[in-house]
């Protein structure tokens, strides 16, 4: 059975998201932060679930007519199978269905896999945030106009 994209519902699912976050992103958000995301009407948090295990997660905030993608993670054992593309597509489609027109995100300048994925979805580099991450690494700011086209 292929992975299922869904909204997290239970504390166990949130705990799995936190574990995935720690594995993939180094502990980006806490359990409490993810709980706030699912309670916030301006936030969309989607997960990939396979055999009751969360193997992917993505989130965006709806800000005016913009989707600010805050995170996207796929478990390392499942990377390279197109799941990141499917999850990003789902986020962008959801943003479009909410009437949002544009999307933006930040990504580590060394994260070449993610950069390639975002460029595949027609995101363009709009600038750099110097020393944005805790380790001092720069963030590339990506921007995508017109979500209604070719999602």
Count CA atoms closer than 13 A to 17's CA, side-chain side. 28
Which residues form the catalytic set?
A: 106, 118
| Secondary-structure percent of the chain, ordered helix, strand, coil, rounded to 5 | 35, 35, 35
Instruction: Enumerate the domain spans of the chain.
Output: 4-144
pLDDT means per 10 residues in the chain (151 residues)? 70 93 92 92 93 93 96 95 95 95 96 96 96 90 88 61
Question: CA dihedral defined by 110, 111, 117, 123, rounded to 10 degrees?
Answer: -50
Q: What's the predicted TM-score (pTM) here?
A: 0.91
Burial (Cβ within 10 Å: 0-12, 13-18, ≥19) of residue 11 = exposed
| Per-residue model confidence (pLDDT) at position 2 | 55
CA geometry: angle at 97 spanning 9 and 55, to 5°?
Answer: 40
Domain 4-144 has CATH 3.20.20.105: no
The per-residue pLDDT for 151 is 61
Residues 59-79 as b/e (b if ≥16 CB within 10 A, e otherwise) read bbebeeebbbbbbbbbbeebe
For the beta carbon of residue 87, count every other beta carbon within 10 angstroms: 23
How distant, in Å, are the alpha carbons of 11, 78, 90, 107, 128 from that of 146?
36, 30, 16, 20, 22
């Amino acid at each position: 059975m292929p992975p299922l994209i869904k909204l997290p519902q239970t504390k166990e699912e949130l705990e799995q998201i936190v574990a995935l976050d720690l594995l993939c992103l180094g502990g980006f958000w806490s359990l409490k932060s993810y709980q706030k995301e699912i309670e916030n009407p301006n936030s969309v948090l989607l997960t990939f679930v396979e055999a009751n295990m969360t193997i992917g997660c993505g989130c965006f905030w709806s800000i005016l007519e913009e989707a600010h993608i805050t995170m996207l993670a796929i478990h390392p054992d499942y990377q390279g199978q197109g799941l990141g593309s499917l999850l990003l597509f789902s986020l962008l489609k959801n943003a479009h269905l909410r009437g949002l027109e544009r999307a933006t995100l930040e990504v580590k300048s060394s994260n070449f896999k993610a950069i390639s994925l975002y460029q595949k979805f027609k995101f363009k580099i709009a600038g750099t945030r110097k020393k944005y991450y805790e380790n001092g690494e720069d963030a590339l700011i990506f921007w995508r106009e017109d979500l209604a086209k070719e999602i």
